[in-house]
């Protein structure tokens, strides 16, 4: 019997490490197969390199991070600021979901500070929904996957929505035991130190990620370091009670509900 699979679909190289690496590492420790896909090449993430050079560098960094986590890496389908909710993109994401057949899908929240994140969320949800529609042809063509799937949305950038509203997750995952590995995976994205410093004022993106994990742990009132998740509506994906992260992680998963 094959291991259950978890698939992370996020926008840019390093988004997975910022938002979901701790949860993925915990699942891997429990025998899950983990998969990573950034839909964008990250080609605009530099003030010094050309777009072509930046995409090549970031591709190597993303693959190194996935290898460190023990994850299967999947190539992007588009580029920064050019991720759009199109038929072609939906077909491509559907093909990925059908190939991996995940029980858990991790992605951005429906609202976030930039459109690439929001679009990626929409593509992940629609591609996952379409996985079980036999008459929907994926690109490349793959047979429909009918197994139940639960989608979890990560915390938005800045821990608030685009209108500055506070964002509270449904559940917290205790990432303290994998914090070192999580930050090591994020550190693989070395090219982003210069870019995030210039574009967002993050003097150390690794330190910023560590600070956020501690803040989410504080908000959970249970863990020292955490990632936050909220389940997507189950309709079209599985049963209302499905919560495979809870089932897999046990005491490392906490919900206030």
Per-residue pLDDT 10s for the chain (257 aa) are 689 999 999 999 999 999 999 999 999 999 999 999 999 999 998 888 999 999 999 999 999 999 999 999 999 999 999 999 999 999 999 999 999 999 999 999 999 999 999 999 999 999 999 999 999 999 999 999 999 999 999 999 999 999 999 999 999 999 999 999 999 999 999 888 766 665 555 557 788 899 999 999 999 999 999 999 999 999 999 999 999 999 999 999 999 76
Please give the DSSP secondary-structure letter assigned to residue 155.
P
At 37, give phi and psi (nearest 5°).
Answer: -140, 120
Q: Indicate the fold that domain 5-255 takes in CATH.
A: Rossmann fold (3.40.50)
Of 68, 77, 56, nearest to 25 by C-alpha is 68
Rounded Cα gap, residues 107 and 35, in angstroms: 12
Give the pLDDT confidence score for residue 197 in this predicted structure: 61
Helix (H, G, I), strand (E, B) or coil at 176: helix
- Residue 115 to residues 34, 122, 190, 194, Cα–Cα distance (Å): 26, 10, 24, 22
The alpha-carbon radius of gyration of the chain (Å, integer) is: 17
**Pairwise CA distance, residues 229 & 117, whole Å:** 15
User: Could you tell me how many residues make up the chain?
Assistant: 257
What is the pLDDT, as a whole number, of residue 7? 99
pLDDT of residue 228: 98
Dihedral Cα 129, 120, 108, 140, nearest 10 deg: 50
Structure-block tokens of residue 162: 């685009």
To the nearest 10 degrees (0 to 180), the angle between helices 87-100 and 115-130 is 60
- φ, ψ for residue 228 (rounded to 5)? -110, 145
* 242: phi then psi, degrees, rounded to nearest 5: -60, 130
Residue 124: strand, helix, or coil: helix
No. of H helices and E strands in the chain? 9, 8
Q: Are 128 and 232 in contact (CB under 8 A)?
A: no
Maximum distance among all Cα pairs of the chain, rounded to whole angstroms: 49
Q: What is the pLDDT of residue 131?
A: 98
pLDDT at 204: 77
**Under 8 Å between Cβ of 58 and 79:** no
Question: Distance between CA atoms of 29 and 24, rounded to whole angstroms?
Answer: 9
């Amino acid at each position: 019997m094959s291991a259950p699979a978890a698939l992370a679909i996020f926008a840019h190289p390093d988004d997975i490490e910022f938002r979901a690496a701790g949860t993925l590492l915990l699942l891997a420790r429990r025998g899950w197969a983990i998969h990573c896909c950034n839909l964008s090449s990250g080609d605009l993430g530099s003030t010094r390199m050309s777009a072509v050079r930046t995409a090549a560098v970031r591709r190597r960094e993303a693959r190194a991070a996935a290898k460190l986590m023990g994850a299967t890496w999947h190539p992007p389908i588009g580029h920064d600021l050019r991720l759009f909710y199109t038929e072609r993109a939906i077909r491509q994401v559907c093909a990925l979901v059908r190939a991996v057949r995940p029980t858990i899908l991790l992605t951005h929240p429906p609202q976030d500070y930039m459109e690439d994140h929001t679009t990626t969320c929409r593509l992940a949800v629609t591609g996952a929904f379409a996985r079980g529609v036999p008459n929907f042809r994926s690109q490349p063509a793959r047979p429909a996957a009918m197994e139940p799937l639960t989608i979890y949305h990560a915390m938005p950038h800045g821990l608030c929505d685009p209108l500055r509203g506070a964002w509270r997750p449904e559940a917290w995952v205790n990432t303290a035991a994998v914090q070192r590995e999580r930050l090591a995976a994020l550190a693989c994205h070395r090219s982003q130190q210069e870019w995030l410093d210039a574009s967002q004022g993050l003097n150390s993106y690794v330190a910023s990620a560590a600070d956020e994990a501690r803040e989410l742990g504080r908000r959970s009132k249970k863990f020292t370091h955490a990632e936050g998740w909220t389940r997507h509506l189950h309709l079209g994906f599985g049963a209302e009670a499905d919560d495979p992260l809870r089932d897999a992680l046990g005491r490392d998963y906490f919900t206030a509900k």
